[in-house]
Amino acid sequence: MVFAAGLLLCHSIVRLYASAQVVAAGHKAWTSVEDNDGRELLKVASWIRANVPENQVVSANLDPLFYLYTGHQTVRGFAPDYYELFYKAEKAERRPAGTDADLRRELRTNHVDYLVITPDRDFLEIPFFRKSEEQLIQSFPSVFHRAYQGETTGYEIFAVDWEKL
């Protein structure tokens, strides 16, 4: 069991390192979709390193990437429901990434100080999660303040006053 876990960890580290090299080289990260730009991801991470105190919590869909590149505690704002994502027939009723109320609870529970938004078009749950983010930001305009706007559309960071959620 320990050997298998060690083997999995080694494989994961090699894959992460390879991904990091792709991002650092300025190539498109993890996808052929133009909106997922490794250079923009690095700019977002650099902004976090330079402007966010080390003790503050960041929420991002690519939470492992932002943890590795910034050193900040990073959480994902939802846990995807893969059954609902892939098998539920009625698309209008699907909420595989939860609701805006679920996201609100996650941000409060984890004391999230910054919400990072990136395109992440390769993740099937992202359109659903974006809907929750947009609804929450619109519902609480005094809680979310745009702190960073990327040069490319879709890269944003919002400061979050989680105590007011």
115-148 residue pLDDT tens: 999 998 788 888 888 889 999 999 999 999 999 9
Give residue-wise pLDDT tens across range 141-162. Answer: 999 999 999 988 899 999 999 9
Average pLDDT, the chain: 81
pLDDT of residue 72: 96
At 92 the pLDDT is 64
Q: Are strands 57-59 and 74-75 parallel, antiparallel or unpaired?
A: parallel
Local confidence band at 64 (pLDDT 50, 70, 90 cut-offs): very high
Q: Are 165 and 104 in contact (CB under 8 A)?
A: yes
**Are the C-beta atoms of 74 and 107 separated by less than 8 Å?**
no
Long-range CB contacts (< 8 A, 24+ apart) of 39-45?
40/118, 40/150, 40/151, 40/152, 40/155, 41/65, 41/69, 41/118, 41/155, 42/69, 43/150, 43/151, 43/155, 44/116, 44/118, 44/148, 44/150, 44/155, 44/157, 45/69, 45/70
User: Dmax over Cα atoms in the chain, in whole Å?
Assistant: 50
pLDDT beyond 90 at 51 = yes
**Which helix (H) or strand (E) is 114 found in, with range?**
strand 112-117
More confident residue, 68 or 31: 68
Closest CA to 116 of 71, 58, 56, 160: 58
Residue 110: both structure tokens together: 């984890």
Would the pTM of this model clear 0.95, i.e. be above it?
no
pLDDT above 70: residue 13 = no
What pLDDT score was predicted for residue 9?
43
Compute the distance between CA of residue 105 and CA of residue 111 in angstroms, rounded to an integer: 10
Whether pLDDT at 50 is above 70: yes
Q: Is pLDDT of 82 > 70? A: yes
4-26 mean pLDDT: 47
Per-residue pLDDT, 28? 43
Tokens of 79: 């846990």
Q: Has residue 85 got a pLDDT over 90?
A: no
Give the integer Cα–Cα distance in Å for 165 and 158. Answer: 14
